[in-house]
Amino acid sequence: MTGRSIPEVLDGYQVYGELGEGYTGQVFLGHDPLLDRHVAIKFLRRDKNSPYQDQQFVKEARAIARVQHRNIAAIYRAGRLDEMRYLVLEYISGGPLSAIKAPLALEQALSLSLGVVRGLVACHRRGVVHGDVKPSNILLTRHGVPKLIDFGLSVYRGSCFSTMTHSLKVGSLCIPPRTSRRFPPVLAEGLGDSSKDMTSEIDVTADIDATGTERGPRLIEGTPDYMAPEIWKGFSATPQSDCYAVGAVLYKLIEGCVPFEDVMANDLATAVQCIDAPRATKAPPEVADVIARSLARQPEERWSSAEALYVALEQASAVEMLLKKSMH
């Protein structure tokens, strides 16, 4: 990851074995001897070609620090050792939601999803958009409480953005594996058109004006199976795209697969932008309606915020519980 060995002791924390690795870095188990508790230490991936790596590091640390909530993994410290940037985070022992085989029982799926949405409500109230909600970024405590992790792709919408231009070298246009990564903008009208020359250096611009309004394509970031249509077009993450991702997560928990499971990876961007997501057939109508609205192709047709989604999902869950009780 860094070309350097991981130290056994870092800033007073003991560093043990690796817990996992993601797009933005590696995570190790650590121990705080002063407070006698385990921690998770995330070493951010180095990219010598990125002039914005320090900004990304600070952005992720501040995004987590802005939100203190029981459904968000806490941050204890951010630091740097030579060229290694690291975050000291809350250690969550229960493992990722992705490790649990879906479909789940409806009550469990709803309970977990409500916890995730509660975390997003707290994020959105603080101006933070997560940007990469998916089962592997949801860890469960030993008591089954879901906690959102990995704010490496988060967007802070509490203040105006400044326009930044990034240069990206690409050999050819290809839809990535269905894991979190960055890749060039894929516009609906250009998909499948091999005549478009994507082999030259591409300037990928955030293009956000002084009012914070986004006006054009930018570097795509996310996990394909949980990316909203507008993200495929190169637009930045919003509360509505977070709601889309939650809809895809809940769909998988109930149906046992993601909405566009049968679509080939190279066709996924086109399908998401041009075809309505399939309806959740294993969910009761009230819950299926919530999922369908979350997965709407147009952002304005989705829930306006995580708070609106939470209210709707809680009401649908209450209806389902009442129906269940009436049958006994």
Give me the count of residues in the chain.
Answer: 328
CATH topology of domain 9-90: Phosphorylase Kinase; domain 1 (3.30.200)
Residue in 121, 143, 151, 133 with CA at minimum distance from that of residue 250? 133
244 in Cβ contact with 302 (< 8 Å): yes
Task: Give the SS3 label for residue 31.
Answer: strand
Q: Which residues contact 93 (CB under 8 A, 6 or more apart)?
A: 38, 141, 142
Between strands 128-129 and 155-156, the pairing is antiparallel
Which residues does residue 43 pair with via DSSP β-bridges, in sequence order? 26, 86
3-state secondary structure 163-199: CCEEEECCCCCCCCCCCCEEECCCCHHHCCCCCCCCC
- The CA distance from 239 to 217, in Å, is 18
- The CA distance from 3 to 43, in Å, is 12
- The CA distance from 161 to 211, in Å, is 8
H or E stretch at 287: helix 285-294
- Rounded to 10 degrees, the C-alpha dihedral 49/51/53/58 comes to 180
Which pTM was predicted?
Answer: 0.82
- Rounded to 10 degrees, the C-alpha dihedral 172/22/264/222 comes to -80
Task: Give the SS3 label for residue 122.
Answer: helix
Q: Which residues contact 174 (CB under 8 A, 6 or more apart)?
A: 266
Identity (one letter) of the amino acid at 126? R
Token look-up 């029982």 returns: 105
Q: Is the backbone of residue 286 left (phi > 0), alpha (psi -120 to 50) or beta? A: alpha
Residue in 296, 286, 206 with CA at minimum distance from that of residue 248? 296
Task: Give the SS3 label for residue 146.
Answer: strand
pLDDT at 221: 80
- The CA distance from 61 to 150, in Å, is 10
Q: Is the dihedral of CA 177, 181, 182, 187 positive or negative?
A: positive
CATH 3.30.200.20 boundaries in the chain = 9-90
- The CA distance from 296 to 284, in Å, is 18
H or E stretch at 90: strand 84-90
How would you write the pLDDT of the chain (328 residues) with one tens digit per residue? 544 588 999 999 999 999 988 777 899 999 999 999 999 999 988 766 565 678 888 999 999 999 999 999 999 999 998 888 999 999 999 999 999 999 999 999 999 999 999 999 999 999 999 999 999 999 999 999 999 999 999 999 874 333 222 222 222 233 445 565 444 444 333 333 322 222 222 233 343 333 444 444 556 888 999 999 999 999 999 999 999 999 999 999 999 999 999 999 999 999 999 999 999 999 999 999 999 999 999 999 999 999 999 999 999 999 877 667 666 5
How many C-beta atoms surround the C-beta of residue 199 within 10 A? 11
pLDDT at 4: 59
285-294 vs 306-326: helix crossing angle, rounded to 10: 170
Q: Where do runs of H (alpha helix) occur along 97-235?
A: 106-125, 229-232
CATH 1.10.510.10 boundaries in the chain = 97-152+162-326
CATH architecture of the domain with residue range 97-152+162-326: Orthogonal Bundle (1.10)
pLDDT at 328: 55
